[in-house]
Structure 1
Amino acid sequence: MLFNSFEFAVFFPLVAAAYFLLPYRWRWLLLLVASYYFYMAWKAQYAILLVISTVIDFVASNAMAKASDQATKKRWLLLSIFTNLGILVGFKYFNFLNASVRAVFPAWPVEDLDVLLPMGISFYTFQTMSYTIDVYRGLLPPTRHFGRFALYVTFFPQLVAGPIERAPNLLPQFFKDIPFDADRVIRGLKQMLWGFFKKLVIADRVGLIVDQVYNAPAQQDGLTVVLASVLFALQIYCDFSGYSDIAIGAARVLGYDLMENFRTPYGAASIREFWSRWHISLSTWFRDYVYIPLGGNRVVRWRWYYNLFVVFAVSGLWHGANWTFIVWGALHGAYLVLALVFAPFWERVEAGLGVARIPVLWRALNRSVTLLLVLVAWVLFRANDLGDVAILFGKVGEGVVSTSALEVIFRDMGAGIVSVSLLLAALFVLIDPWADDVAKGRRQMNGAASYAYHGLLLAACLLFGHFGSTAFIYFQF
């Protein structure tokens, strides 16, 4: 079930109303049934994977608590990790790995699997693995309530595209009797509205232009590729952060707090800062469960660089079974390593230029450079394959030799549609930092102004929204 579908528009109000009408002791059961229904509306048979992960991790976590020695605890942890990663690799990466081997050894006899990628598999496997790892580390006791643990694994607002929650934050909330709070419900609905605006009015509209360019890169010119790449940066931010806003807002309506996943990432002044603002739940997951166990920065310098590079390459693979994602992640890892290598030199440059006297201008310059680096990397993320990447960068290298490709887009899609899409995108860029603060409650508006502003958002969704039930980009991960 998609958030931007008629089914969800009926499903969510019914679940929310029933939730607050039911006695506390039955609410977890309602949410569990609703979560499985939400997932099974896509492919019912793949719900068995949720059941397997839930049962294995519940049993393993409780067995670890009863284990009398560390070796036994580790065996139960490995059972959990290998089960979850086995499911993930089998459904998401087997065909990619198989094709990669076949490319090197053409006589490779193993056939690809005829399977569909289960929706949200990368998200819920990471969420449930973090639980068993935390139990193993002694950071939290295992829950004895199977039903509420199953709800932690499947909670529908964040089941298929995050935020990737941690048990210490989310699981205890399912044991609380949460009274109806009208103010909280309104704040949740406002954040959902902002998410729908980003998805329907911005992401899906500019996505039409992006798709036309990236699906036929050889037919484009340099200017069109640059425009489409900038628009894709906007599309993926609005699409994914829009989903997060809807998820967080929906959970808030029901009385639950999910972690923040985005903090205006394109305002970052360094790649490191970008990753502290972009997909926060994933970047902190890799920090806590991969980077730090590898040694983090508490090792010799070359190993520190190696750890960073490996973590980002693996995070690229997490996003998709394609070499474009791996190279995208590796490129971000290279950005971070190079920033560390040249940090002493850069500090001397800053001292020599006296940038302390012009902090605003210097930060603006750093933001511009960071954004440019992120935009270059997004080309890898969006391209269909590495061959298309070469074509796209080649088109940019040719410069603006003509505008014929852009003219084709205006003709095929309609000049009015394209112009409105570009104007809405430009308006969004201007208001996003302020509107993001409003949606997340960091900035308050008085009653009349709030009603007017949110009324405009709703009107924009109804008038300019692209209602095609387009799936969220991160659903494929």
Structure 2
Amino acid sequence: MLFSSATFLYLFLPAVLVVYYGLKWSRPLQNLFLLLASLFFYAWGEPRFVRVMALSIAVNWLFGLLADRFRDRPALARAVTALDVVCNLAILFIFKYLGFTGRVLQLLGLDARFPQIALPIGVSFFTFQAMSYVLDVRRGRGRVQKNILNVGLYIAFFPQLIAGPIVRYETVAEEILHRKETWTDVLDGFARFVAGLSKKVLLANHFAVLADEAFSLNALSAGMGWLGAVAYAMQIFFDFSGYSDMAIGLGRMFGFHFLENFNYPYLSASVSDFWRRWHISLGSWFRDYVYIPLGGSRRGPARNALNLLAVWALTGLWHGANFTFLLWGLLHFCAIGAERLLHLDKKERKSVLGWLVTSVFILVGWVLFRADSVSQAAVYLKAMAGANGRLRHR
């Protein structure tokens, strides 16, 4: 069920709001109703994947209890957390990366044929949220939820379930049981939802038409190549930030306050600054749960480079199981590494030249992100450079 669909706008959302506020006298019943509504929302597209969601909720609820119980025994707490991460990543690997792993092994000369399993909607988002719950409980950054229904609400809450933002448990832990809904929140949330819906329907969808046309052409001129890349940059921004706006607005309607996910990223004058403004929830997740635990920048330049490499390879693959996404992540690793090496990330580069260089780099990256294959991206980029060519489509 899409936020922009008539079913959601005229049936699901009004009904959920009416029943939710009709249960205002009982927070437990409100939470139970929101969980059931969220599972119904998720089941609307693929009912069979509700079992995957239920498994994720049960596993992380159990490991959350264990992590809280062993907080005064650090070694056991770390072991419990590590096992939880393994379980969550196993779910993600089976559904998203099993087929890709088979292709990689075949390229290495091994006879490996793994099935391409259908991907549960939003699995990358809710898996990362689920891990955040156990990690934050172990670190004492949020109260453990002994009621499995509350854990389920945190993981499956429909506003951010499909396209984010990735809501960190520590940011909403208190609101699960002690939030306060106000008419100001409801009205502000409604306005934010409408703004996001407008981005999606009026802007993103129209830019998508131009981008799709450019990337589907057999022969591409330089002008059309650049136009298509700019169109896709606008499409992905208005689409993604639009969904984030809608999620933030919907959360406000029910008393939840999600953190911002975008902050004018295309005004950035460096790639490092771009990633402080783009998909903020994903960047902060990798920073706090991967980069810093690996040692961050505290263990010398070589180790810092390896930590950055791991983060950006994983960031690329998080977006999709394809070599194009991996190369896109590695491209950003190279740019951010170069900026750190030259200390450009610590300088206020607000010049027009800095913005222009960053914008061109981001556009080149979006071509890799949008292309069906590395070969198509290479031909497309050659066309942008003035070497007309024919694109290859899968």
Query: Is it true that 1:158 corresponds to 2:160 in the alignment?
Result: yes
* Structure 2 unmatched runs, 5+: none
Instruction: Call closer, same or farther: CA 1:274–1:177 in 2, change over 3 Å.
Output: closer
Does structure 2 retain, via aligned residues, the 8 Å contact 1:24–1:177? Answer: no
Instruction: Call closer, same or farther: CA 1:111–1:306 in 2, change over 3 Å.
Output: closer
**Residue type of the alignment partner of 1:74:** R
Correspondence for 1:375 among 355, 359, 363: 363
**What's 2:290 paired with?**
290
Q: 2-side partners of 1:324 and 1:45: how far apart? A: 30
**Residue type of the alignment partner of 1:99:** R
**What's 2:318 paired with?**
318
Q: Match of 1:128, SS?
A: helix
What's the TM-score once normalised by structure 2's chain length?
A: 0.93
Correspondence for 1:130 among 129, 132, 156: 132
Does structure 2 retain, via aligned residues, the 8 Å contact 1:215–1:384? Answer: no
Q: 1-side partners of 2:141 and 2:330: how far apart? A: 31
- Report the CA distance between 1:90 and its aligned residue: 0.4
Query: Is it true that 1:275 corresponds to 2:279 in the alignment?
Result: no
Does structure 2 retain, via aligned residues, the 8 Å contact 1:185–1:252? Answer: yes
**What's 1:394 paired with?**
382
Query: Is it true that 1:213 corresponds to 2:214 in the alignment?
Result: yes
Instruction: Call closer, same or farther: CA 1:141–1:173 in 2, change over 3 Å.
Output: closer
**Residue type of the alignment partner of 1:69:** R
Does structure 2 retain, via aligned residues, the 8 Å contact 1:149–1:171? Answer: no
* Structure 1 unmatched runs, 5+: 351-355, 406-477
Does structure 1 retain, via aligned residues, the 8 Å contact 2:179–2:255? Answer: no
What's the TM-score once normalised by structure 1's chain length?
A: 0.77
Q: 1-side partners of 2:192 and 2:374: how far apart? A: 37
Q: 2-side partners of 1:281 and 1:326: how far apart? A: 20
Q: 2-side partners of 1:236 and 1:396: how far apart? A: 19
Instruction: Call closer, same or farther: CA 1:214–1:59 in 2, change over 3 Å.
Output: same
Q: 1-side partners of 2:343 and 2:274: how far apart? A: 17
Does structure 2 retain, via aligned residues, the 8 Å contact 1:195–1:246? Answer: yes
Q: Match of 1:276, SS?
A: helix
Does structure 1 retain, via aligned residues, the 8 Å contact 2:142–2:173? Answer: no
**What's 2:94 paired with?**
90
**What's 2:34 paired with?**
31
- Report the CA distance between 1:309 and its aligned residue: 2.5
**What's 2:227 paired with?**
227
- Report the CA distance between 1:295 and its aligned residue: 1.0
Q: Match of 1:398, SS?
A: coil
Does structure 1 retain, via aligned residues, the 8 Å contact 2:92–2:123? Answer: yes
**What's 2:147 paired with?**
145
Residue by residue over 1:19-54, the C-alpha shift from the partner in whole angstroms, topping out at 9 and shown as x without a partner, is 111123311011001000000001111011111111
Q: 2-side partners of 1:246 and 1:286: how far apart? A: 23
**What's 2:65 paired with?**
62
**Residue type of the alignment partner of 2:26:** Y
Which deviates further from its counterpart, 303-312 or 32-41? Answer: 303-312
**How many residues are matched?**
386
Q: 2-side partners of 1:154 and 1:171: how far apart? A: 14
Instruction: Call closer, same or farther: CA 1:397–1:174 in 2, change over 3 Å.
Output: same
Q: 2-side partners of 1:368 and 1:20: how far apart? A: 49
Runs of 4+ in 1 over 4 A off after TM superposition: none
Q: Match of 2:164, SS?
A: coil
**What's 2:106 paired with?**
102
Q: 2-side partners of 1:7 and 1:30: how far apart? A: 19
- Report the CA distance between 1:114 and its aligned residue: 4.5
**What's 1:353 paired with?**
none
Q: 2-side partners of 1:394 and 1:366: how far apart? A: 23
Q: 2-side partners of 1:201 and 1:29: how far apart? A: 35
Does structure 1 retain, via aligned residues, the 8 Å contact 2:323–2:373? Answer: yes
Q: Match of 2:163, SS?
A: coil
Mapping for residues 218-257 of structure 1, pairs under 5 Å? 218-257=218-257
**Residue type of the alignment partner of 1:93:** Y
The root-mean-square deviation of aligned C-alpha atoms, in Å, is 2.1
Q: 2-side partners of 1:56 and 1:296: how far apart? A: 29
Query: Is it true that 1:118 corresponds to 2:106 in the alignment?
Result: no
Residue by residue over 1:321-351, the C-alpha shift from the partner in whole angstroms, topping out at 9 and shown as x without a partner, is 000001001101100111122238x99xx9x
Query: Is it true that 1:365 corresponds to 2:353 in the alignment?
Result: yes
Q: 2-side partners of 1:199 and 1:303: how far apart? A: 41
- Report the CA distance between 1:177 and its aligned residue: 5.3
Correspondence for 1:52 among 41, 51, 55: 55
**Residue type of the alignment partner of 1:100:** V
- Report the CA distance between 1:135 and its aligned residue: 2.1
Q: 2-side partners of 1:247 and 1:323: how far apart? A: 30
**What's 1:191 paired with?**
192
Q: 2-side partners of 1:177 and 1:368: how far apart? A: 44
Mapping for residues 430-449 of structure 1, pairs under 5 Å? none
**Residue type of the alignment partner of 1:33:** L
Query: Is it true that 1:77 corresponds to 2:81 in the alignment?
Result: yes
Residue by residue over 1:119-171, the C-alpha shift from the partner in whole angstroms, topping out at 9 and shown as x without a partner, is 10010110110111122233334221211111001010001111111112113
Does structure 2 retain, via aligned residues, the 8 Å contact 1:195–1:244? Answer: yes
